[in-house]
Structure 1
Amino acid sequence: MLFSNLQNDRSLPMSLEFIRIRSYVNDTSTFEKSDKLEISGLSDLTQLKQKHLLIIEDIIDTGATMISLKRELEQYHPKSIRIVSLFTKRRPDKKCLLKPDYVGFEVPDHFIVGYALDYNEYFRDLEHICIMKESGIEKYRIIEE
């Protein structure tokens, strides 16, 4: 039987960490203004040594944020780092610096929201993915002082 090994009492030892990296305000990457990531939620990073890491990302646009996160994590000497992204953007300028190891869907180069993707914390709760219209982008824009 193909799944006979799954019938025993063994489990896969793993741990789960949730992190938040804020890389956008409005429809502009904050990473373009500063190469320092705003990361929150990671606990003891020294525990990453010789561990296999799987980073699960919602969307990769240029890949700059993931490259920075990967560099940060590499300092703790994990055994491997793999990246999976639900979405990647089809960029006409071809400025994607990182291709994830695993991809769910490729989407057009527009600002998309829904299904946990947000625009300034709005629209995460939509049960579908949609492209933001320019009028919506302007309506929900954060006015920076």
Structure 2
Amino acid sequence: MSPVRLGEVLPDAELIHDRATLEQAIQRLADEIRGDYEGDMPPLFLTVMHGGMPFASQLAFALGERGLDLEFDYLHATRYRGNTSGARLAWLHRPATSLRGRRVLLADDILDEGHTLLAIKRWCEDEGAADVRTAVLAVKIHDRCVEGIEAEYVGVEVPDRYVFGYGMDFQEQGRNLPAIYALKA
């Protein structure tokens, strides 16, 4: 069976949050984050690749506009590898920057069940981070989130459906869509 192309599902997908709504949410998050980090050493801003890249970029610019300096690095850990359900966590890249004694701000696209973000957060703590906080563009509304993880900074909520766009993919497609969509229920 050949893979389904984004163009086959996008016309029937439901627009959940448009670009303007997402941009407003990112501006609000930047205000919240700046207030929590103001006056400290620049936090280590870790983008969770690939999905976190569009959101992290926009959030970093919004924080810069508010005078908050950041030190950048990234990590790539995944449970999906192009699938729609997760498996064991695979580390594809760990940050080159030492986390010891640092305040770390993780930026990711979505908090769904939280397995990946919890593993990443614990890894940061094990590496000696003084504080680890998480900013996500979206949180999926359901009761399956693992214990021990929640995002301190949340842009928008999304329904408990398959969502894509603004970093989130549909079969490795659509990450660059400037809005969030959901497959029809």
Deviation at residue 112 of structure 1 after TM alignment: 0.6
TM-score by length of 1: 0.71
Report 1:12-91 matches (<5 A): 14-24=70-80, 25-30=82-87, 34=88, 37-44=89-96, 47-91=98-142
Q: Where in structure 1 do 4 or more consecutive aligned residues deviate above 3 Å?
A: 11-14
Task: Give yes or no for contact 2:78–2:116 (8 Å, CA) kept in 1.
Answer: no
Which region of structure 1 is more displaced relative to structure 2, 20-29 or 79-88? 20-29
Structure 1 gap ranges (5+): 6-10, 135-145
Task: Give yes or no for contact 1:17–1:41 (8 Å, CA) kept in 2.
Answer: no
Structure 1 residue matching 2:73: 3-state secondary structure: coil
Task: Give yes or no for contact 1:89–1:106 (8 Å, CA) kept in 2.
Answer: yes
Which residue, 138, 144, 160 being the options, matches 1:95? 144
2:183 equivalent to 1:126: no
Structure 2 residue matching 1:125: 3-state secondary structure: coil
- The sequence identity of aligned pairs, in percent, is 28
Cα distance in 1, alignment partners of residues 117 and 95 from structure 2: 18
Task: Give yes or no for contact 1:48–1:78 (8 Å, CA) kept in 2.
Answer: yes
> Taking structure 1 as reference, are residues 103 and 39 closer, same or farther at Cα in structure 2, changes over 3 Å only?
same
Structure 2 residue matching 1:116: 3-state secondary structure: coil
Structure 2 residue matching 1:109: 3-state secondary structure: coil
More helix per residue: 1 or 2?
A: 2
**Bigger Cα Rg:** 1
Number of residue-to-residue matches in the alignment: 117
Structure 2 gap ranges (5+): 1-38, 40-66
Deviation at residue 54 of structure 1 after TM alignment: 0.2
